[in-house]
Chains A and B, each alone.
Chain A
Amino acid sequence: MTVSLSRRAFLTRSAILGCSAAASPLLTPISLAAAPWDQRLVVIILRGAMDGLDVVQPYGDPSFPGLRRTLSAGPAAGALDLDGFFALHPALAPLYPLWQANDLGFVHAVSTPYRDKRSHFDGQDLLEAGTATLGSAAGRDGWLNRLLQSVPGIEAETAYSIGHDNMLLLTGAAPVANWSPDISLGLSPQAVRLAELVMHDDPLFRDAFAEAQMLSGSMQMMEENTMMAGGEMSGMATMTQPPKGKAKGIDLIAEFTAKRLKADTRIAAFSIGGWDTHDGQQRALPRALGQLSQAILTLKAELGPHWKKTTVLAMTEFGRTVRENGTRGTDHGTGGAMLLAGGAVRGGRVYGDWPGLSEADLYNRRDLMPTRDVRAYAAWAMRGLYGIQRSVLEQTVFPGVDMDSDPGILR
C-alpha cells in the first residue's frame, strides 16, 4: 500500500499548511518550499508499444525495404531524412524544426529488460517499475518515485502525475501530486468539514480527499494569479491575440503540465495511448504521433523560457516486429525507440548502436535486437539533470542497470 503511505506523508504536511485551504478564499497562497532543482523533466509513457522502426525509419539499412511492404518506405514515401540513414515518420513533420534546432533526438534499438512474453501489461509495468523483473504486485513503486525518495527536500508538488490514470511510474513513498486539469471540486466549507468527517476512518479516502482539497485549491489560486497578472498588463495583449479556445485532451494535459513546471513542479509524467497498431498502421500510427507531437509543441510553447531547462523522455513498453504482418500492421516485438526533446537535450541525432536487420541480427529472428537498456539512457538523463549519484541510480532507481559510459544526451 505504498500509495496510502505517500498520501499519509502528504497529509501530515498538508495538515500543517491547513488542508482545507481551498475552502478558505482568504488564505494566502499555499507556501511550498522552493524545489530542489531548476531542471525540468517530463516523462511520457507511450502505452501500446510504439513501432520505433516506423517512427524513426532505418531506410539506410539494406535489409529494411524487404521487411516492410506498405509501411516505412523512408524519404521516398514522405519521411523526413534525419541523417542519411534514419528518416522521421511524416506525421512527426511538425517536430522537424525542433530536430533542426537540436531540440529533438532519438535513441534506437533500446528496450527494458522485458523479454519474450510480449504482453503490453507486463511490459508497461516493467517500464514504469524500472526493475529488471516483475516482482509481486504488492508494494511496488515506480522509478521516478524512487528517484524522489533519494533526494531530500521533496515537496508534494515537486512531482506531478497528470491525467486520469494512476501511474505506477510515480507511485511510491515519496510525496507526489496526482491531478487532472479537467476536474474541479467546489464544496462549501461546511460540506468539506462533513466530507472530512465521513472519510476520516478510511485512510485511502481521507488522504485522497485531503490531497484533492489542496490541489484544487492551489489550482484555483494559480488561475486567479494568472488572471490578475493578465489584467495588469492592460488590455493590449488580450486584444491583439485571438481568444484562445478551451484546450482539450492532450493539449489540456500538456498545457497544465507546463503551468505546473513553471511553478514549483520539476518532474511531471503523463501517458499517451493508441500505439498498438496491429492493423492498418498507416492510418492508426499518425493519430498517436499527432498526439505526441501536439503534446511536445504545446509544452514548448507554454514553457517559454523554461523550455531551455526542460528534458522530455517519451518511452514505450517494447517495439514491434521488424516484418510487417499480414494486415498492414506490426505485431509485438522487442527493441524499439525512445524520443528525447527539450532545450536541455543534445538533439539532432539518433543515439544507439544499430544492430542491423539481417535475419541473423534479429532477436528471435523476428524483432529488432535491443543493444542497450533504455533505463541506462533515463539514468544518464537523471544523473545529468539532477546530479544523482551513479550508485543510487544503478542500485535503487533502476536496480541492476548497467549505466556503462555516458551517451551524452544532454547539452
Chain B
Amino acid sequence: MTFDPILAEKRFGYGLSPRLAAPDSVADILTRLQEPDEIAVRFQVEPFSQFRDRMHRAQSIRKEFRELRGTEAGKALQKQLKLVKKDARQQHRHWLVQTMLRRSWTRDGFRERLAAFWADHFTAQGKAGLLKRGTTPYIEEAIRPHLSGRFADLLYATTTSPLMLHYLDQENSMGPDSRRAQKRGIKAGLNENLARELLELHTLGVGAPYSQGDVRQLAELLTGLTYSAQDGTKFRKDFAEPGSETVLGKTYGGDQPGLDDIRAVLEDLAAHPATAHHIASKLAVHFVSDTPDPELVRVLEQRYRDTGGDLTQVYDALLTHPAAWQPEPSNIKLPDEFIASTMRALAIDPQVFSAIEDGDQHEKHVIRLFLKPLQLMGQPWQAPLGPDGWAEEDDAWLTPQGLSARIDWAMSAPAKMRNPLPDPRHFVTDALGRWAPEPVRFAAKAAENRRVGVALILASPAFQRK
C-alpha cells in the first residue's frame, strides 16, 4: 500500500494518458501542484471579473432600452442584448470543452481534481440571465488560485464571490434595522440562506453544535455583503445590521460594519475543529472510498488542525497515508470524470473542437457530445439540484439508467472525437495500464469492431472505478 504511478493517475488525477508521463512520487505530485498553472494558460477560461463585463454590458443595454422601447433604436438594442446572451452561452459551451481539455492534457491531474472537488464543495450557480453561464469563471477566479493555500482564503474567496452571493440569496439581504431597510419599510430584510449553508455545508458540517440562533446571527453579520455587475463584490454599509452579532459564542462587529468582520468570522469558522473534521472526511470520501478508514480521516483532521488549515499540508497527509494507496480500485468516477478520463486515454486532439469555427456548429457538437449525455448520466453540467453538490456514494451513480447512459456514450462519442479509433488491443493498455483485467483484454480482442471494443473497455469496472 504505497505510491504507484498508475494509481496516482487514476485515483488522484483523470486517469492514464498514452502521451503524458504519470508522476513518479508523492513529492512529484505535490511539486507539480506548486508549479505555475501552465495548463490554464494553454486552455484558457475567462475569470469572473471579465465575465462581469458581460453582465455590465447587458445591464447598460437594458437600461438604455427602457428609454427607447418601441423605437427602431430600441429594436437594435434588443438585438444587441440577444447577441450578448448568445455569446455568453456559446462561451459557456467552450469553457466546458476547455475544462475537459485541461483534464485530458495536464501533467498535473491532481490540480484539476482539486479544482473540481472544491467547486463541488462550494457549489454555486446562476439562477437567471447571464449568470447561468458564470460557473466556470467563478471557479477560475474564486477557487483555482486557492487550491493549495489556506482553507480560510478559499472560504473567503468563495463566500464573497458574486456568484455565491447571488446563488445563496445574499445579494439582497439587509439587516432589519439597517438604514436601507428602514427606508424601504417592512418589505426589506434578512435572508438566512448563505449563513445556513456556510455553517452546514462549507465549514462546520450539519452534525456540528450550532443552532438556529447562530444561523440568524451569522446572517445578520453577513448583511452588507453584496455585489454589482460594475464593481463586483462590495460592502454596502446601508444594508448592514447595526451593532454586534454573536456567532458560536464569539462577538463580532460593532459600530463600523465592514468586510473585516466577515473575514474574522470566516477565519474562526475555518479554524473550528468541526470544520477540520468535515473537510478531512470529505477529502477522504472523495479521493479514497465511500467508507474511508477512520484512521485516515483522523490523520487528515489532525494535520488540518496542526497547520491552521494549510491545504497542501492536508493533501500531503492524504497522499502519504497507506490507506490512500490500497490497490483495489474503489470509488466510481462521476460522469464528468468518466468523460474526461476517456478523452485523456484517447488523447483527443484539441483541434477536434478548435477547428469548428462556426459558433452554432460548435455549440451543437458540445450539446451532443457532452451536455445531453451528462444529463442522462445524472449529472447535468454545473447544475446540481442543491448547494450540497453531487453525491459521492457509488450507488447514486451506478443505477441501471446511469450505467446505460455511460455505455451509450462510450459506444458513440469516441468515434466523433477520434478517427480512426485506436486498436482496442492497444487501447486497453493505454486506458488501464498493466492492470487491465483478463476479461477486459479478452473483450477488447473479441469485439466485433473497434468502436465496440473501445466502448467495452470504457464500460468496464476497471475503467470506471478509480
User: Residues of A with Cβ closer than 8 Å to B?
Assistant: 1, 3-4, 47-48, 69-70, 116-122, 137-138, 164-166, 171, 177-180, 182-185, 187-188, 190-191, 194-195, 197-202, 204-205, 208-209, 211-212, 215-216, 273, 276, 278-279, 325-329, 331-332, 364, 366
Contact = CB atoms under 8 A, between A and B. Distances in A.
Contacts of A47: 385-386
Contact of B190 (A69, A216, A326, A364): A326
Given A121-B388, A188-B452, A195-B407, A329 B169 contact: yes
B31 interface: no
A328 B291 CA distance: 41
A121 B392 CA distance: 13
Contact-residue size bin, chain B (C-beta under 8 Å from the other chain): 35 or more
Contact of B188 (A177, A178, A326): A326
B187 A69 contact: yes
B404 interface: yes
A119 B386 CA distance: 11
A204 B398 contact: yes
Nearest to A119: B206
B296 interface: no
Given A178-B399, A191-B452, A204-B395, A326 B174 contact: yes
A188 to B, nearest CB: 7
A325 B401 contact: no
Interface in B381-423: 385-386, 388, 393-405, 407-408, 411
7 closest A-B pairs by beta carbon, nearest first, are A326-B189, A212-B400, A202-B461, A279-B169, A164-B378, A185-B404, A180-B401
A68 to B, nearest CB: 11
A267 B219 CA distance: 42
Contact of A199 (B395, B448, B460): B460
B190 A201 contact: no
- Looking at B200, B396, B400, the one whose CB has the most chain A CB atoms below 10 A away is B400
Interface stretch (B74-82, B154-162, B191-199): B191-199
A178 B401 contact: yes
B386 to A, nearest CB: 6
12 contacts: A121-B386, A137-B393, A178-B399, A180-B401, A191-B447, A194-B447, A198-B459, A201-B439, A204-B332, A209-B403, A325-B191, A329-B169
A200 B457 CA distance: 13
A398 to B, nearest CB: 23
Given A205-B398, A212-B400, A212-B401, A180 B386 contact: no
Contacts of B369: none
Contact of A198 (B394, B395, B404, B440): B440
A118 B403 contact: no
A240 to B, nearest CB: 34
B275 interface: no
A195 B190 contact: no
A204 B394 contact: yes
B211 to A, nearest CB: 8
Nearest to B451: A191
B212 A327 contact: no
Contacts of B145: none
A188 B447 CA distance: 11
Given A194-B456, A216-B404, A4 B395 contact: yes
B270 to A, nearest CB: 20
B123 to A, nearest CB: 12
B192 A325 contact: yes
B447 A331 contact: no
Contacts of A179: 400-401
A184 B398 contact: no
Given A197-B439, A204-B398, A332-B196, 5 more contacts: A194-B443, A194-B446, A198-B437, A279-B193, A326-B188
- Looking at B401, B404, B408, the one whose CB has the most chain A CB atoms below 10 A away is B401
B104 interface: no
A195 B404 contact: no
B113 to A, nearest CB: 22
Contact of A120 (B386, B455, B465): B386
A138 B193 contact: no
Contacts of B169: 278-279, 327, 329
Contacts of B186: 69
A173 to B, nearest CB: 14
B185 to A, nearest CB: 9
A205 B206 contact: no
A122 B376 contact: no
Given A201-B439, A325-B189, A331-B193, A273 B385 contact: yes
B464 interface: yes
B173 A327 contact: yes
B137 interface: no
Contacts of A366: 212
B192 A331 contact: yes
B320 interface: no
Given A121-B388, A185-B407, A191-B447, A279 B398 contact: no
B176 interface: yes
A114 B457 CA distance: 45
Contacts of B393: 137
A69 B404 CA distance: 49
B59 to A, nearest CB: 18
B181 A326 contact: yes
Nearest to B329: A202
B376 A180 contact: yes
A325 B404 CA distance: 44
Contact of B206 (A122, A178, A279): A122
B125 to A, nearest CB: 13
- Looking at B172, B212, B377, B404, the one whose CB has the most chain A CB atoms below 10 A away is B404
A164 B398 CA distance: 11
Nearest to A205: B461
Contacts of B176: 326
A329 B442 contact: no
B461 A184 contact: no
A292 to B, nearest CB: 16
A178 B395 CA distance: 12
Contacts of A3: 395
Contacts of B211: 116
B188 A116 contact: no
A116 to B, nearest CB: 6
Given A4-B395, A188-B448, A199-B459, A211 B378 contact: no
B403 A205 contact: yes
A195 B407 CA distance: 9
B212 A118 contact: yes
Contacts of A204: 332, 394-395, 398, 461
A198 B408 contact: no
Contacts of B399: 164, 166, 178, 208
B240 to A, nearest CB: 13
Nearest to B193: A278
- Looking at B176, B378, B459, the one whose CB has the most chain A CB atoms below 10 A away is B459
Contact of A208 (B189, B190, B291, B403): B403
Nearest to B462: A198
Contacts of B172: 279, 326-327
Contacts of A116: 211-212
A199 B172 CA distance: 52
A198 B385 CA distance: 33
B388 A198 contact: no
Nearest to B377: A164
A184 B378 contact: no
B57 to A, nearest CB: 24
Contact of B376 (A182, A197, A276): A182
B396 A165 contact: yes
A200 B439 contact: yes
Contact of A165 (B378, B460, B465): B378
Interface in B117-173: 168-169, 172-173
